[in-house]
A and B are shown apart, each in its own frame.
Chain A
Amino acid sequence: MISLIAFIIIVVFGTYFFVSNSKKIKRNIFLGKPKTINDNKSERLKTMLLIAFGQKKMFAKPLPAILHLFIYAAFIITQIELIEIFFDGFTGSHRAFRPALGSFYTFMISLIEILSILAFIATVSFLSRRNLLKIPRLVKSELNGWPKLDANLILFAEITLICFIFMMNGADEVLYQKNWSHAINLNDGSLNFSISKIIGPVLFGNMSEAGLHIVERIGWWGHLLMVFGFLNYLPFSKHLHILLAFPNTYFSNLNPKGQINTLASVTDVVAPNFNPEYVPQTDQNAPQRFGVKDVQDLTWKNLLDAYSCTECGRCTAACPQNATGKLLSPRKIMMDVRDRLTEVGKNIDANKGTFIDDGKSLLGNYTTPEEIWACNTCNACVEACPVNINPLEIIIEIRRYLVMEQSQNPAELNGMFTNIENNGAPWQFSQADRANWINE
């Protein structure tokens, strides 16, 4: 009875807090400006299946891709075991599915155990890549502090979860062999799971019945607590990518990467010079801000991008400016957007649902003009991202704000602007001389 109450409390509160924090994330994402993305549904579905589910872009780096695949596969398949944990938790049964499912049950749990071992190897490798080998993209300065801790906490949590699985199955194996298990005895002498039938007796073979039951229960409850703990950790962590990679790739940009959006609000100002009958596309009375100063000026897709980022740094590793020692790091841009958005969200929570101006903004307090002006717009970051995040779009929008609202571009660019405006070329040559090369 006590365990049923404990179980219900964990499930109800675990679900409640996850749902309420997820709603906040969703609200924050839709603080962004509207953008309609509902074309090419089959192409989008295909992109999502290939890039998010199939992890196609991860395989640009095969070793981390395979290690990541182990954790990913273990994560997905382990959830199946959760169905039984829920059933047992509510009904007080133990391994309720085993008698009915028979060898299929043995196969599934064995698969989970093998994947757990692979995930364990992957997790330990990832910890050492971060903390011992210090892979450059995993130790850049923007990861100092919380991001580094966040990454390590997730990896430790995964190791802990795997340990719980093997405590649960390993102790139960010994219990079953000695006919002490609460599982229905099918007179087969062993639960016969691939890994725990070997390591169970080795680790727990000499323990008493009471001790074994304690280890088994710690594993079972620990597994449950880790799952709900992890779920509730997600909204506060870079690890949210495991959920948001799917919508984020579905809503990917399907246009050529070189295409930068046309600002309709600018067209409304420029087009009447060329076509007196031009009808404006945007609401002429709405207050306009060209470009982006703060997160609310970005589109919801840019904000979804920020929450989908797991800070892997493939973008920054591919960035030519970062590679040559400049301040620009596409990953930091995405982290800045998320951090500022989190701050804006907290502001809204603290002020009963409305944002009270805090005198801060994405540009200035988080991202600096020096970073923004270094970009080559080369799309290396966009190409590198395993979940199709687009830092370039944000960089261009901030440049637009700096130029069109603030006139705060690097002074050398004024020459280029003036020349284009006056002579139709970025240099000081007369447009009339444009074909002089023919006779030179």
Chain B
Amino acid sequence: MNSTPIKVPTMAEMAAKGEMPDVLFWVGCSGSFDDRAKKITKAIVRILNHVGIKFAILAHEEGCTGDPAKRAGNEFLFQMQAMQNITVLNGYNIKKIVTGCPHCFNTIKNEYPALNGHYEVIHHTQLVQQLINDGKLKVEGGEFKGKKIVYHDPCYLGRANNVYEAPREVIQKLDVELAEMKRSKEKGFCCGAGGAQMFKEAEKGTKEVNVERAEEALAHNPDVIAVGCPFCNTMMTDGVKHFNKENKTQVLDVAELIAKANDL
């Protein structure tokens, strides 16, 4: 990994200089606090730094979008969070947002407009795809060349918002063998985290959802299980460990694949 320090301007700093970013990077709670997800955040930042996009983060002015609260039925808490965030975003006159997490992506894109938060929102895999297509980001396979990669669709990117191709196109640029699980795209099988399940124990059953999904992915004997969501990342990593396959199969975000392969 590249040792150049990352440059992460905050929105407050930029506004103080009278500047506006091209895009606001919405880091998300997982990307801010979870040790594993922080690496994904940094990979996204390295890509942004590399192509020289003018971006900013909200830092301490960012708060949970309210996704887990809303999906757990706590609409009050969701709307409190949403209105706080919308006040901050509208205060800075933000127009375009890229998120590191499909849950933030879905919530800001689909649920903030009803509360007067209107932004162009894209997921980081879509941004990477655009950068590659526009010729701003050149990618090579690097250490992943010829490796076998299985892509797991995050529900909130896939079914929730019909983004199936962007992450796949990006992965294929790495000159890898992209394998598809039987349950993929529209039929994708959840990692088990969504709907606030991340924050509670599972109900009584015969198996954990993430174990079922990891088993399906591992059946392809992949070198990498690629994901586009920090929660899927946690669940799939735990699932791979359940089968003691962590030495053979890595779980990596699409952004990490790009950053690693190209020494960003």
Q: Which residues in A have some Cβ–Cβ distance to B below 8 Å?
A: 60, 255-260, 262-263, 266-267, 269-271, 273-274, 290-291, 318, 320-321, 323-328, 370, 373-380, 382-383, 396, 398-404, 409-410, 412-413, 415-417, 420-421, 424-427, 429, 431-438, 440
B209 touches A321 (CB 8 A): yes
Does residue B182 face the partner (Cβ distance < 8 Å to A)?
Answer: no
A416 touches B199 (CB 8 A): yes
Given the contacts A370-B203, A416-B69, A379 and B159 also touching, CB distance less than 8 Å = yes
A437 touches B41 (CB 8 A): yes
CA distance A290 to B29 in the complex (A): 28
Does residue B62 face the partner (Cβ distance < 8 Å to A)?
Answer: yes
B64 touches A424 (CB 8 A): yes
Nearest chain A CB to B55's CB is how many angstroms away?
Answer: 13
Does residue B156 face the partner (Cβ distance < 8 Å to A)?
Answer: yes
Picked from A318, A379, A399, A424, the residue with its CB within 8 Å of the CB of B160 is A379
Number of A-B contacts (CB under 8 A): 223
CA distance A376 to B74 in the complex (A): 15
Nearest chain A CB to B100's CB is how many angstroms away?
Answer: 11
CA distance A257 to B73 in the complex (A): 17
Given the contacts A270-B76, A376-B194, A258 and B110 also touching, CB distance less than 8 Å = yes
Nearest chain B CB to A262's CB is how many angstroms away?
Answer: 4
Nearest chain B CB to A379's CB is how many angstroms away?
Answer: 4
Contacts of A323 in B (CB 8 A): 189, 209, 212
A399 touches B72 (CB 8 A): yes
A378 touches B207 (CB 8 A): no
B73 touches A400 (CB 8 A): yes
Nearest chain B CB to A422's CB is how many angstroms away?
Answer: 11
Given the contacts A324-B207, A434-B32, A426 and B199 also touching, CB distance less than 8 Å = yes
When C-beta atoms are compared, the residue in chain A nearest to B68 turns out to be A426
Given the contacts A383-B159, A420-B81, A426 and B64 also touching, CB distance less than 8 Å = yes
A257 touches B200 (CB 8 A): no
When C-beta atoms are compared, the residue in chain B nearest to A382 turns out to be B159
Given the contacts A260-B111, A263-B75, A435-B10, A425 and B29 also touching, CB distance less than 8 Å = yes
Given the contacts A266-B79, A269-B76, A431-B60, A324 and B206 also touching, CB distance less than 8 Å = yes
Contacts of A429 in B (CB 8 A): 32-33
A412 touches B201 (CB 8 A): yes
Could you show 26 A-B contacts with beta carbons less than 8 Å apart?
A256-B161, A258-B110, A262-B115, A266-B75, A269-B76, A273-B80, A318-B187, A320-B213, A323-B209, A324-B212, A370-B203, A373-B200, A376-B209, A378-B155, A379-B155, A379-B159, A403-B73, A404-B73, A416-B196, A420-B66, A421-B80, A424-B29, A424-B64, A425-B63, A425-B64, A426-B29
Does residue B208 face the partner (Cβ distance < 8 Å to A)?
Answer: yes
Contacts of A271 in B (CB 8 A): 79, 83, 115
Contacts of B77 in A (CB 8 A): 417, 420-421
CA distance A31 to B148 in the complex (A): 54
CA distance A259 to B156 in the complex (A): 10
- Taking A420-B81, A437-B38 as known contacts, 15 extra A-B pairs with beta carbons closer than 8 A to each other, sorted by chain A number, are A263-B75, A267-B115, A270-B76, A291-B73, A323-B209, A325-B206, A326-B202, A374-B205, A378-B194, A413-B200, A421-B80, A424-B29, A425-B32, A426-B64, A434-B33
CA distance A375 to B209 in the complex (A): 11
What mask results when residues 42 to 65 of chain B are scored 1 for a CB within 8 Å of chain A, else 0?
100000000000000101101110
CA distance A427 to B194 in the complex (A): 16
CA distance A432 to B62 in the complex (A): 10
Picked from B64, B73, B87, the residue with its CB within 8 Å of the CB of A274 is B87
A404 touches B199 (CB 8 A): no
When C-beta atoms are compared, the residue in chain B nearest to A269 turns out to be B76
Contacts of A436 in B (CB 8 A): 32
A383 touches B64 (CB 8 A): no
